């Protein structure tokens, strides 16, 4: 296995450097059982674990065993699914905190995927104007993306993640063992974000992914741990340089402008986030080629890697080109009415592109449809 043979699957710790808001990312098998890591991140005695009805039965008891010796722990179980990522669900967290008299020294712990992490983080950011929280991501997508960087929030029927806040966790605890219970479709969705890092920031990592995608798909522990660490390292470097997305951090949205449009149009939960992003990345890759920045061979590399990762490369059949533009006008990256696209100058280097002609985008979308017909 290329580039992995000397990599040992032991716990690794990275740092997201943000001054007094800096925090560690701990990665490895058994992190969930390491009480010393949690003790360093928890303030006060009150701890509320926020999870969902899929994850809590699997890992709730184990986490309680880890935390109970040194704090007062309660678990709030929410329904599972992107369709519940809304203000009404956030109110359930507030209700629990208020009824049980949680103080400003309390710590919220997000045990779940990106939906739980985003909602728990938003509740932590806004409850009594801010309490500590810890991320324990249980999906590959959350481990490599949403748990790192401090983006929190909920969806609105008119747009994804349109209500939220930048709020950094106290720590991110990534236990690789939890991926053993992750459904195949969810695991593949996470690979979309892993592939994104190679495309926007690290051509060598993209090449490594091409050589090792079969090991990742089969969940080889060493390969998966390496991919998680590499992805988190790239994201932590970008977030440390641009916490509030005023520059380079926007590159992390590669594929997301199109992907969010797909999710909003279909209704949250129809396509998984990573699936929508994969289709969006393919469209953005085609736009980049039509702009003259990528060769046909490079487009084919992206297409082949997404296919091998069991990800969609075409948009939904029932979504028309006009639907994309209608939904993309509600994207957070729209400035003065102009859609801003994240494109590729080459594999490993992203760019923010304003004023891309609609005809080029429509041609790219149509090209993606035809490549699977």
Supply the residues annotated as catalytic. Answer: 129, 151, 193, 235, 245, 249, 253, 256, 260, 273
In sequence order, the 6+-apart residues with CB closer than 8 A to the CB of 370 are none
Q: How far apart are the first and last CA of the chain?
A: 34
Q: How far apart are CA 26 and CA 28, in angstroms?
A: 7
Count the Cβ atoms, other than its own, within 10 Å of residue 174.
29
């Amino acid at each position: 296995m290329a580039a992995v043979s000397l990599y040992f699957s032991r716990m690794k710790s990275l740092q997201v450097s943000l001054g007094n808001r800096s925090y560690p990312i701990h990665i490895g098998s058994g992190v969930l059982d390491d009480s010393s890591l949690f003790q360093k991140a928890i303030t006060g005695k009150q701890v509320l674990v926020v999870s969902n009805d899929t994850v809590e039965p699997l890992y709730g008891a184990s986490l309680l065993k880890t935390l109970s010796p040194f704090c007062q722990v309660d678990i709030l179980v929410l329904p599972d699914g992107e369709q519940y990522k809304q203000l009404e669900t956030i109110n359930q967290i507030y209700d629990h905190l208020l009824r049980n008299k949680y103080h400003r020294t309390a710590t919220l712990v997000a045990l779940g995927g990106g939906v739980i992490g985003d909602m728990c983080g938003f509740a932590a950011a806004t409850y009594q104007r801010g309490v500590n929280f810890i991320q324990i991501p249980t999906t590959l997508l959350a481990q490599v993306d949403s748990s790192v960087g401090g983006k929190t929030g909920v969806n609105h029927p008119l747009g994804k993640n349109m209500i939220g806040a930048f709020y950094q966790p106290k720590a991110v605890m990534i236990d690789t063992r939890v991926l053993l219970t992750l459904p195949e479709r969810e695991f593949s969705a996470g690979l979309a974000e892993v592939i994104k890092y190679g495309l926007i920031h690290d051509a060598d990592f993209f090449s490594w992914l091409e050589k090792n995608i079969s090991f990742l798909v089969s969940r080889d522990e060493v390969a998966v741990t390496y991919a998680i660490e590499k992805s988190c390292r790239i994201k932590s470097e970008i977030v440390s340089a641009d916490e509030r997305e005023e520059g380079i951090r926007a590159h992390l949205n590669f594929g997301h402008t199109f992907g969010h449009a797909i999710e909003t149009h279909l209704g949250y939960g129809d396509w998984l986030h990573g699936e929508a992003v994969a289709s969006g990345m393919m469209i953005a890759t085609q736009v980049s080629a039509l702009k003259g920045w990528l060769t046909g061979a490079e487009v084919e590399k992206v297409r082949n890697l997404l296919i091998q990762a069991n990800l969609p490369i075409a948009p939904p059949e029932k979504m028309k080109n006009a639907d994309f533009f209608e939904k993309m006008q509600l994207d957070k990256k729209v400035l003065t009415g102009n859609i801003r696209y994240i494109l590729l100058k080459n594999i490993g280097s992203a760019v923010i592109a304003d004023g891309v002609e609609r005809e080029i985008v429509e041609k790219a979308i149509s090209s993606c449809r035809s490549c699977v017909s």
